[in-house]
Amino acid sequence: MITRQIVLAAYPVGTPQTGDFSARSGTLPDVGDGEVAIKVSHLSIDPFYRLRMRPDSSVGPPLALGQVVESRGVGRIVQSRAPGFAVGDYVAGDVGWQSHAVLGAGGLRRLDCALGPPQRHLSLLGPSGLTAYFSMHVLGAPAPGATVVVAPAAGSVGTVAGQIARAAGARVVGVGSGAAQLARLIEIGFDAAIDHRDPAALAAACPAGVDVFLDGVGGVLHDAVTDLIRPRARIVLLGFISGYNEAGPPHYGKILPLLFKRARLEGFLLADWQARFDEGLAQLSAWEKAGIVRAIETVWPGLESAPAAFCALFGEAPAGKQIVAVDTDEGQ
């Protein structure tokens, strides 16, 4: 079986560029016992893999030059030698940036398309939506009238988390990048939106202080929000995208406000919540069908657009989840 692939051609220096990737055709192995062949329909574009695109990766082995770029995705089974997985089933798994994949069935999740269409299982009904649900609805648990700060707010997690907080009656402040993102946040329903390059604007946007902070940025912004936390505030750490393109450990500097305000700071890993995934998926699907939460997605057409979609994550990307439609015949 022939597959089209996008591989890592060079380790990015600083912000990734499209020239760090190249396209090629490859031949997949035959489907073995316990494996399936998948025609990939959509790819999830996520910033985490930037950390693996360096020879000194500290989050697992570095991606090798010439290796297919790793990525989650969804697709339709076209051949199966795995019990319980039938031709025509839609599944999600680590498919990589390619048009077809042969994978072990043990690493795949069959999609319940009654909850939403296949691509939705990469955004609202995928890891992004589940992260937003458990980090904001369960851990953050904002009360009506609370002030919530979400950073980055225009990404795949932030757009969902902000809507969840707004539905709970909180006042929600989003941190984005550029005028287009900020305007989109207001359109989605955020009460205020500020640019990450203007952390001083936080004080004006949060005159009563901050009760819940969902932080995927770290760095200077983390410190600026920490200065504004109220007593018993809750801070949930999702990541440190501000440091993804830099050498050295992430920067989380301010500690004393946590002590004096008796605040709670907790790191978040989605894998810890796996036993409750069905709960989260059911609730997110119900909210979407009721019009309470919208899936905010930007779909990039064609496999060859994957490098540009990935590089956009480190600039002023369109709001929401970045998804590549590998096979445009699969629809939206």
Ordered by start, the domain boundaries in the chain are: 2-123+296-330, 127-271
Q: How many whole angstroms separate alpha carbon 284 and alpha carbon 289? A: 9
Q: How many whole angstroms separate alpha carbon 60 and alpha carbon 231? A: 38
Which of 3.40.50.1000, 3.40.50.720, 3.20.20.70, 3.90.180.10 is the CATH number of 127-271? 3.40.50.720
Collapsed DSSP state (helix, strand, coil) of residue 251? coil
pLDDT digits (tens), the chain, 332 positions? 899 999 999 999 989 999 999 999 989 999 999 999 999 999 999 988 898 999 988 788 999 999 999 999 999 999 999 999 999 999 999 999 999 999 999 999 999 999 999 999 999 999 999 999 999 999 999 999 999 999 999 989 999 999 999 999 999 999 998 899 999 999 999 999 999 888 789 999 999 999 999 999 888 888 899 999 999 999 999 987 655 555 555 556 677 888 899 999 999 999 999 999 999 999 999 999 999 999 999 999 999 999 999 999 988 788 899 999 997 555 43
pTM for the full predicted model:
0.86
Q: Strand 35-44 to strand 72-80: parallel, antiparallel, or no bridges (unpaired)?
A: antiparallel
Q: How many whole angstroms separate alpha carbon 49 and alpha carbon 59? A: 9
Collapsed DSSP state (helix, strand, coil) of residue 273? helix
Q: How many whole angstroms separate alpha carbon 278 and alpha carbon 274? A: 8
For the structural domain made of 2-123+296-330, what CATH number should be given?
3.90.180.10
- Judging by beta carbons within 10 Å of its beta carbon (0-12, 13-18, 19+), is residue 191 exposed, middle or buried? middle
